[in-house]
Amino acid sequence: MNDYPLLNAFLTMLYFFLWIMWFFLLFKIIADIFRDDSLSGWGKAGWTVFVCLLPFLGVFVYLLARGRGMGERDVKQVREQEQAFRAYVQQAAETTPSAAPTTGEELSKLAALRDHGDITPAEYEQAKTKVLASH
């Protein structure tokens, strides 16, 4: 029962999560290589081959050489996505038909209020005049 002590289980989980983080970093760097518009095609090919053939050395050299630009490109992409989202929301809000009730709807609501006894006939006439004047 004690063939696998608790500390070994924790170490196994630590190694597993480090392995997952390593692949996350590797894929993030490869995505950054292809996202960078300042690199030529040969530059992208060279970095990709370097990172894939010598992954540990390639990733560390890439982070040292281009790590600052990597963060700046991330921030730029987030800003562009946020700006595109805001533009989409504004465009959608402009094209959405207004939810304002029509004159007929307002008059029918007033008539229902009058018929139900919630407003007096004089209040109904006053509100009806106001609705007709506003439309």
pTM above 0.85, yes or no: no
pLDDT of residue 28: 93
pLDDT of residue 105: 83
Q: List, for residues 1-18, the tens digit of each pLDDT value.
A: 567 788 888 999 999 999
Domain ranges of the chain: 101-135
For the stretch 101-110, contacts whose Cβ atoms lie closer than 8 Å and that sit 24 or more positions apart, written own/partner, are: 102/135, 103/131, 103/132, 103/135, 106/131, 107/131
pLDDT of residue 14: 95
- Dist CA 33 CA 51 (whole Å): 10
pLDDT of residue 2: 61
The pair of three-digit structure tokens given for residue 106, joined into one six-digit string: 């307002």
- Dist CA 114 CA 45 (whole Å): 78
- Dist CA 86 CA 22 (whole Å): 34
Does position 101 have pLDDT exceeding 80, yes or no? no
Inter-CA distances, 70 with 32, 66, 76, Å: 7, 6, 10
Kindly state the average pLDDT of the residues 99-125: 84
Does position 102 have pLDDT exceeding 90, yes or no? no
